[in-house]
Amino acid sequence: MAEHKILLTEAELPTHWYNVIPDLPSPPAPYVGPDGAPVPPEAMQAIFPPGIIEQEVSQERWIAIPEPVREALALWRPSPLYRALNLEKALGTPAKIYYKYEGVSPSGSHKPNSAVAQAYYNQQAGIKRLTTETGAGQWGSSLALAGQMFGLEVRIYMVKVSYEQKPFRRSMMETWGGEVIPSPSSLTETGKAALAKDPDNPGSLGLAISEAVEEAAGRADTNYALGSVLNHVLLHQTIIGQETKAALAKVGDYPDVVLAPCGGGSNVGGMMFPFLADKAAGKDIRLVAVEPSSCPTLTRGHYAYDYGDSAGHTPIMKMYTLGHDFMPPGIHAGGLRYHGDSALVSQLYDKGILEAVAVPQIATFQAGVEFARAEGIIPAPESCHSVRGAIDEALRAKEEGKEKTILFTLSGHGHFDMAAYDKYFAGELEDFEYPADAIDQALHNLPKVGT
Amino acid sequence: MAEHKILLTEAELPTHWYNVIPDLPSPPAPYVGPDGAPVPPEAMQAIFPPGIIEQEVSQERWIAIPEPVREALALWRPSPLYRALNLEKALGTPAKIYYKYEGVSPSGSHKPNSAVAQAYYNQQAGIKRLTTETGAGQWGSSLALAGQMFGLEVRIYMVKVSYEQKPFRRSMMETWGGEVIPSPSSLTETGKAALAKDPDNPGSLGLAISEAVEEAAGRADTNYALGSVLNHVLLHQTIIGQETKAALAKVGDYPDVVLAPCGGGSNVGGMMFPFLADKAAGKDIRLVAVEPSSCPTLTRGHYAYDYGDSAGHTPIMKMYTLGHDFMPPGIHAGGLRYHGDSALVSQLYDKGILEAVAVPQIATFQAGVEFARAEGIIPAPESCHSVRGAIDEALRAKEEGKEKTILFTLSGHGHFDMAAYDKYFAGELEDFEYPADAIDQALHNLPKVGT
Q: What is the mean pLDDT of chain A?
A: 94
Residue B402 sits at the chain A interface (C-beta within 8 Å): no
pTM to 2 decimal places:
0.96
Taking CB atoms and an 8 Å limit, are B5 and A175 in contact across chains?
no
Instruction: Please give, rounded to a whole number of angstroms, the shortest distance from the CA of B4 to a CA of chain A.
Output: 6
Chain B residue numbers with beta carbons less than 8 Å from the beta carbon of A177 are 373
Mean pLDDT computed over B247-262: 97
Assembly ipTM: 0.95
Cβ-based contacts of B373 with chain A (< 8 Å) = 148, 175-177
Mean pLDDT of A407-427: 96
Domain spans, chain B: 67-108+232-445
Question: Which one, of B285, B284, B273, B320, lies nearest residue B442 by Cα?
Answer: B320
CB contacts, 8 Å: A106 with chain B: 372, 376-378
pLDDT above 70: residue A450: no
| For range B189-193, the mean pLDDT | 93
* B440 — pLDDT class (breaks 50, 70, 90): confident
Q: How many CB atoms lie within 10 A of CB B12?
A: 15
User: Quick check: A243 contacting B, CB < 8 Å?
Assistant: no
Give CA–CA dist A20/A276, Å, rounded.
8
Q: pLDDT by residue (tens digit) across A191-240? A: 999 999 999 988 888 889 889 999 999 999 999 999 999 999 999 999 99
Task: Find the helix or strand (DSSP H, E) in which A350 lies.
Answer: helix A343-350
Q: Residue B83's closest chain A neighbor by CA? A: A75
User: By the CB < 8 Å criterion, does B145 face chain A?
Assistant: yes
pLDDT in tens, B170-186: 999 999 999 999 999 99
B441 touches chain A (CB under 8 A): no
Query: Residue B450 pLDDT > 70, yes or no?
Result: no
Radius of gyration for chain B, computed over Cα atoms and rounded to the nearest angstrom: 21
CA distance B167 to chain A (A): 8
Chain A hits for B142, Cβ within 8 Å: none
Query: What mean pLDDT is predicted for residues A27-39?
Result: 92
Is 90 exceeded by the pLDDT of residue B20? yes
Q: How far apart are CA B180 and CA B187, in angstroms?
A: 12
pLDDT at A136 over 90: no
pLDDT of B366 above 90: yes
CA A317 to chain centre: 17
Kindly report the nearest CA distance between residue B189 and chain A, in angstroms.
29
A76 vs B419: CB contact, 8 Å cut-off? Answer: no
Q: How far is A10 from chain B (nearest CA, A)?
A: 7
Decide if A71 and B375 are in contact by the 8 Å CB cutoff: no
CA distance B387 to A111: 27
User: Confidence band (pLDDT; 50, 70, 90) for B432?
Assistant: confident
CATH fold for domain A67-108+232-445 = Rossmann fold (3.40.50)
Which has the minimum average pLDDT: A163-177, B137-151, B237-251, B314-328?
B314-328
Distance from CA of B73 to the nearest CA of A (A): 10
Q: What is the pLDDT of residue A335?
A: 84
Q: Is the pLDDT of residue A451 over 60?
A: no
Concatenated DSSP letters for B214-274? HHHHH-TTEEE---SSSHHHHHHHTHHHHHHHHHHHHTT---SEEEEE-SSSHHHHHHHHH
Q: Which residue has the higher pLDDT, B446 or B74?
A: B74
Return the residue in A176, A378, A416 with the most chain B beta carbons within 10 A, the one to mutate for interface testing: A378
| Distance (Å, whole) CA B357 – CA B336 | 13
Who among A1, A76, A176 is closest to B10 (CB)?
A1
Contact A71 B1 (CB under 8 A): yes
